[in-house]
Amino acid sequence: MNRPAADARHEILERLRRSLGSRGSVSGRQGDHAVGPAVPMTVTHAEGDRRTLATQFGTKLEQLAGSYEIVDRTAEVPQRLLQRIAEWNSEREPSSTETADSSTLEVLSWAADELPVPGLEEHLRGSGLSLVVPHDLHEAGCRARAASTSVGLTAVDAALASTGSVVLASGPGRSRSASLLPPRHIMLVPMSRIYPTFEAWLRSLRGQARLASLLQQSAQIVFVTGPSRSADIELRLTLGVHGPAAVHAIIFDDDR
């Protein structure tokens, strides 16, 4: 005979109370407000200095099938970016419709002034690589050029060490297509934008009185955790179905 629903509910609540311990409590009466600690409980956790958080973020990203590298100085970023693109392009098998000097030499990107590396565009142009910044994807020529690229390049608004996630806010000069359309995505991640947790990032925004302006000025804010992944009904995982199959973070100390 089945147990009464009230008994089953009581047992579930007791299990939740035991698992939460001193971190909070669960209401057991209909209509009560949930009782919690004075400071909202943080869902995830990370701590340490800038480099420790950078390593934790990269390790989490790697566990999610992404990749990362840490460089000591901002000035090292352009060369590392070129090397990563060259490595990826050497692995590619060009389609019959591609020309030898098209998509391999162009990167779908945020505008240069939205990237946290001074002089990056000039450095890349001197190495034979140009940034494609889409201005109107409603226009067929702009769409075709964006679709021909194999690598997307963006900065991040925040990187979360506890989960390996990044925050991307789109807007003028920050086309969301750069992180969605190409099969490979490179993120430039200054250590100053790495936070232990999502809650720590929100506290920082509130402390600087920047949260409202970020929400008002952004066309879209998304949280990205590793490469795009999808699974069929048999739980067979496939990367790159609805976005990049490869995500790489170049983390750098922007104080140096």
Same structural domain, 124 and 234: yes
Do 245 and 180 meet the contact criterion of CB atoms below 8 Å apart?
Answer: no
Do 121 and 173 meet the contact criterion of CB atoms below 8 Å apart?
Answer: no
> What is the residue-wise DSSP string for 119-188?
THHHHHHHTT-EEE--S-TTSHHHHHHHHT-SEEEEE-SEEETTTTEEEEEEBTTB-THHHHSSSEEEEE
Please tell me the least confidently modeled range out of 62-66, 92-96, 97-101, 217-221. 97-101
Same structural domain, 37 and 73: no
The CATH number covering residue 153 comes to 3.40.50.10420
pLDDT digits (tens, 9 = 90+) for 48-77: 999 999 999 999 999 999 999 999 999 999
Q: 99 pLDDT band (50/70/90 cuts)?
A: very low
Number of domains in the chain: 2
Query: What gap in Å lies between CA 99 and CA 141, rounded to an integer?
Result: 17
pLDDT digits (tens, 9 = 90+) for 202-217: 999 999 999 999 999 9
pLDDT at 177: 97
Query: What gap in Å lies between CA 131 and CA 123, rounded to an integer?
Result: 11
Query: What gap in Å lies between CA 97 and CA 91, rounded to an integer?
Result: 17
Range of the domain at 34: 1-41
Of 252, 224, 243, nearest in space to 64 by CA = 224
pTM of whole model > 0.75?
yes
Same structural domain, 115 and 1: no
Same structural domain, 95 and 218: yes
Mean pLDDT of the chain: 87
Same structural domain, 37 and 60: no
